[in-house]
Amino acid sequence: MTAELPPGLALQKVDERIMTLNVGPQHPGSGHMRIVVQIDGDYIVACDPDPGYVHRGEEKMAEYRNYITNIPHLERPVIHDSCNVLYPYVLGAEEILGIEVPERAKYVRVIASELNRCIYTQYWLAIYGIFLGHSTMFMWPAGDRELLIDLMEKMSGARVTHAHFVPGGVRNDLPANFEDACLRQVNYFEKRIKEYAAVFYDNPILISRTKDTGVLSKQDAIRLGTTGSVLRASGVDYDLRIKEPYDVYEELDVHTNVMKEGDSYARSKVPWLDMMESCNIIRQALQKMPKSGSVRTKLKPNPKTKGPETVYKRVESGRGSLGCYIVSDGKTEPYRVKMSVGSFRNLIALPYLLKGEKLGNMPSVYWSLNYWPVEADR
């Protein structure tokens, strides 16, 4: 019994004042991960996020399937944002397979991608509401999501995991009268989300709770490598839809929402403003879209690539820039698929932000980082 334990297994000596809390994986405020928090009274002295509980080996699985059969499983990391998760892979596969995408399909992709961004953000916002103890803010976004989910169901046939984007375009053409229904529901959706301001964003208790908590300065946001809404909330105007436009984004008038504060409140408000911008983009795309034409360049069942090649494509997803690196060795299956996700980049900021915060601020700071545990684990 007295044998010396190997390093790492020995009990760690800590100050008696410090209490270690395992927030997760079985904790209502953690998601599919664990945050080891050390607290001194009500203050957090150290925080160690521990992702990896839902690792499913998506990247390895992609090496055993060809470019078409990879589609349904690669969208699994974020099923609420499945079009955006698939987008960089599809763009890369198109380059490797050497196919052109019809103009109408590009617009359909933009519409589907923006609808999915709103669906994801609504889900994220619902959880942000319940993390702050605001149950109405849990129910309203979860209910208003249904408007857009119905649209996606009309478009692709599936409510959540659409598998709609394929190399060469999209799987199906839009149904009849989709444009009218889309315009009507998106307008109503925008009217609804503007009402959230009265109950949530202008709420004095919410403002006093989240203002000046977890402040991420502009320099630190760049240094830590955060992306997406976290970066924009810290005052960095960076959006891949503008900086590196893909498909037809350069023909559309896209604005980004930037806030200078860099606190939890700004990080929770930027995605909400982005949803209104998405509604604008959808309206523009519906107007400029060619009214008829093909939406898919047909491929052979087991398409061959041109030869050994590597591509890296990235898009702006609901959680920030989402990149996909595909290495092809000329066979029908990719040699390697690597996804670089925004969630994991944003999680790096968590220990930095939580140090010195109060325990009561942990949920709001954690979830304001726009983190999706399943995506980080892939």
Partner 1 sequence: MSVLAPKFKLSEFIKSLFDNAFWALLLVSLVGLPLIQVVLFYIEMPVINGELLTPFLALTWLADPSRSLPIVKAFMATDMFRVMVFPGFGFAALLAAGTIFVERKMLAKLQLRVGPFYCGKIEGILQLAGDGLKLISKEIIIPAKADKPIFWAAPVIFVATAAAFVALIPVAPGGWVVADVDLGLLGVFAIIGFFPIITILSAWSANSKFPFIGGIRALFQMVSFEIPLILSLLGVVIVTGTLNLSEISASQSFFPWIVFLPVGAIVFFITMLAELERIPFDLPEAESEIVAGWLTEFSGMMYGLVQLGTYLKLYAFAALFVVLFLGGWNGPMIVPPFPEEILTEGIVLGPVTAKFPGLPLFDQAMLNGTLWFVIKTVGVIFFILLPRGVFPRIRIDMLLSLGWTKLIGLAFVNIFIALGLLYAGVLGPGGLQ
Q: Residues interacting with partner 1, by CB under 8 A?
A: 19, 21, 27-29, 42, 129-140, 143, 199-200, 203, 205-206, 208-209, 358-363
Min. distance of Cβ 198 from partner 1 in angstroms?
10
Token pair for 144 = 């208003």
Token pair for 346 = 């944003």
Q: Which is nearer to partner 1, 84 or 364 (CB)?
A: 364
Measured CA to CA, the distance from residue 26 to residue 28 in angstroms comes to 7
Min. distance of Cβ 268 from partner 1 in angstroms?
11
Assign 56 to helix, strand or coil.
coil
Query: Which secondary structure element, helix H or strand E, spans residue 36, and what is its range?
Result: strand 34-40
Min. distance of Cβ 206 from partner 1 in angstroms?
5
Q: Which is nearer to partner 1, 44 or 115 (CB)?
A: 44
Q: Is 161 exposed, middle or buried (0-12, 13-18, 19+ CB in 10 A)?
A: middle
Token pair for 146 = 């249904």
Measured CA to CA, the distance from residue 146 to residue 98 in angstroms comes to 37
Contacts of 158 (CB under 8 A, 6+ apart): 152, 164
Min. distance of Cβ 136 from partner 1 in angstroms?
5
Q: Which is nearer to partner 1, 28 or 225 (CB)?
A: 28
Measured CA to CA, the distance from residue 45 to residue 98 in angstroms comes to 53
Min. distance of Cβ 37 from partner 1 in angstroms?
10
Q: Which is nearer to partner 1, 146 or 173 (CB)?
A: 146
Token pair for 334 = 């990719």
Measured CA to CA, the distance from residue 59 to residue 26 in angstroms comes to 26
Min. distance of Cβ 186 from partner 1 in angstroms?
19
Give strand pairing partners of 50: 34
Q: Which is nearer to partner 1, 32 or 358 (CB)?
A: 358
How many C-beta neighbours within 10 Å does residue 275 have?
A: 25
Q: Which is nearer to partner 1, 25 or 72 (CB)?
A: 25
Q: Which is nearer to partner 1, 268 or 305 (CB)?
A: 268
How far is it between the farthest Cα atoms of the chain? Answer: 79
* Nearest-5° Cα angle at 215, 212 to 216: 160
Min. distance of Cβ 361 from partner 1 in angstroms?
7
Min. distance of Cβ 135 from partner 1 in angstroms?
7
Q: Which is nearer to partner 1, 208 or 217 (CB)?
A: 208
